[in-house]
Structure 1
């Protein structure tokens, strides 16, 4: 069965240009090289009022420094709210540059600073390396807030896809360590639950496009270093494994109706609400994983408007 007939008509042209990728240990290097070749430069003229700098901040104990891109608006007076951003890529690929346009859009709309994290990738660095890299970058942002012109009481975290899953795990880790206050988590189609790989009753209309069951199996296996669905998986690797979600920062979650991650995202939002966490959930009909990156579609524009509005409310009020 194909779900193409369920796709929003304005998204079909973008869908037709998405390559069919099979993730294997052998193909991963080629996929990473292809993504690196397609990166856009970060000095885009339409965001001339945002200064971008590369920094290397202290990493987790015994680990290398963490590379970050720091985004600071030059026309807004501080102290600024800030967003720590973790990019997508199934935990196995990607870099901050690939989501530069989206980060700048958020910085411009919310008048905030942003730090985008170049965390180490699996399978070379499995859990807990990526989430500890993200925590190290968050701790640097918090402890260097004055230097950056940032208000340390108004820090949010966020990401897309695996980056959103990493942000959700970071939210749990940060809450449990009790060192850094967070005001918000912005989770765009988050990859939250390794058990989706092993479900006996998969959703019949999700996962055909962009992020497939095969890709999900590969990404989770790489991150965990063991079979997804195994007992004892840490919630700091797969946030859906957390037994208690109480006390987490307010959340925005959006997901595509044809996304393999649809049901795990809806369930996480339900559990957040059940735990008393203010949560905004959006499911966009006719969309597939990552649809907000198709800027000419009205449904993608609606998704961007919704996430920007939520971020502004959380950081600015």
Structure 2
């Protein structure tokens, strides 16, 4: 891989991850579970069984604040609602946003549309309880990384198609959008790495194997035939990752449908680089650019 030199050195210092298989998944999962962040936190159960964490700015309880609805990564098979939570917490601190993060059910125990249905159910709950949460229901931003980026895209498509929650923006970070695993970049990155072609294929098998019928575009958003009427979209990825080409294609199709999308490819970045090594220079640049886009969006809406 043509990695950024600083990221390459940092990655070389990490222990090698074992192959992701049915046998190793149970051993890897505990390491993917992140601890709960400190601060103004509330834990809820919605929809009968879906855990949510609400993270508010410190001090005065907000009213009419923007909301960041965070959907964690982990290949649909691991992680929890605290995974990569430092990313949206930057936006809480910068914009006074209320962050709501969801624990969706994981594959292979939960297959098909279960995860995206969980995320959509939680989105509806957030919109219905906007006053209680102190948020502006017209400023709900759906965001996620990796598998969470794919689920964020699926939830946004659901909300558009069903005419329910008016999503203000979607932020898709290294998003897992296409179960076909057939792009050039999906073939480039095999063997060792943070997220390889083989890992990606395993994760999609966990989610979709043994299911009858066609794959839903809410699960694999690259299948959606129409990407018109979507909210402003921010997409970023590393040049050295499996998801690069499917993310580029998603942005291209939004533009072709007359929509608004900002696309950033970070040369030398591998999958999840800014989550793993947030202090690296490329990560700092990626995070600042993403946050700057949100700042402009929120300032425009407030004007």
Matched, 1:79 2:61: no
Contact (CA 8 Å) 2:185, 2:241: kept in 1 or not? no
Contact 2:46 2:125 in 1 (8 A): yes
Stretch of structure 1 that moved more, 235-244 or 97-106: 97-106
Q: TM-score, normalised by structure 1?
A: 0.88
User: Is this contact kept in 1: 2:187–2:197, CA < 8 A?
Assistant: no
Q: Does 1:271 align with 2:253?
A: yes
Aligned-partner Cα distance in 2 for 1:105–1:202: 30
Q: Any residues of structure 2 matched to 1:32-47 within 5 Å, and which? A: 32-36=29-33, 39-43=34-38
1:35 CA drift (Å): 2.4
Q: How well do the aligned residues superpose, as a CA RMSD in angstroms?
A: 1.9
Task: Give the alignment partner of residue 9 of structure 2, picking from 10, 13, 30.
Answer: 13
Secondary structure, aligned partner of 1:309: helix
Task: Provide the C-alpha distance between the structure 2 equivalents of 1:148 and 1:234, rounded to a whole number of angstroms.
Answer: 31
Return the match for 1:307 from 280, 290, 297: 290
Distance 1:118 1:247 in 2: 28
Ranges in structure 1 where 5+ consecutive residues have no aligned partner:
44-49, 59-63
Aligned to 2:73: 88
Which one of 151, 157, 160 corresponds to residue 172 of structure 1?
Answer: 157
Distance in 2 (CA, whole Å) between partners of 1:309 and 1:182 is 19
8 Å Cα contact 2:186-2:197 kept in structure 1? no
Q: Which runs of 4+ in 1 moved over 6 A?
A: none
Q: Is the 8 A contact 1:155 1:182 kept in 2?
A: yes
CA distance in structure 2 between the partners assigned to 1:290 and 1:224 by the alignment: 23
Contact 1:110–1:311 at 8 Å: present in 2 too?
A: no
Contact conserved, 2:232 with 2:261, CA < 8 A, in 1?
A: yes
CA offset at residue 195 of structure 1?
A: 1.3
Q: CA deviation at 1:205?
A: 4.4
**Whole-Å separation in 2 of the counterparts to 1:18 and 1:280:** 34
1: distance between equivalents of 2:268 and 2:213?
Answer: 35
Hey, what's the Cα distance between the residues in 1 that align with 2:200 and 2:229? 29
Query: Where does 1:253-264 land on structure 2 (aligned, <5 Å)?
Result: 253-264=235-246
Query: Contact (CA 8 Å) 2:124, 2:165: kept in 1 or not?
Result: yes
The 3-state SS of whatever aligns with 1:267 is helix
Within the candidate set 19, 23, 26, 1:22 is matched to 19
Q: How does 1:1-317 map to 2 (within 5 A)?
A: 3=1, 6-16=2-12, 17-36=14-33, 39-43=34-38, 51-58=40-47, 64-75=48-59, 77-196=62-181, 198=182, 205-206=188-189, 209-226=193-210, 232-293=214-275, 294-317=277-300
Tell me the matched-pair count. Answer: 296
- Provide the rounded CA distance (Å) in 2 between the counterparts of 1:202 and 1:291: 16
Report the 3-state secondary structure (helix = DSSP H, G, I; strand = E; otherwise coil) of the residue aligned with 1:284: strand
* Structure 2 portions without partners, runs of 5+: none
Deviation at 1:179, TM superposition (A): 1.2
* Separation in structure 2 between the aligned mates of residue 141 and residue 184 of structure 1, nearest angstrom: 15
Deviation at 1:149, TM superposition (A): 0.8
Alpha-carbon spacing, 1:110–1:88, altered in 2? closer, same or farther (3 Å) = same
The 3-state SS of whatever aligns with 1:122 is coil
Q: TM-score normalized by structure 2?
A: 0.92
SS at match of 2:101: strand
Instruction: Name the residue aligned to 1:47.
Output: none
| CA offset digits 1:264-303 (Å, max 9, x no partner) | 1101110011111110000001110001121221111001
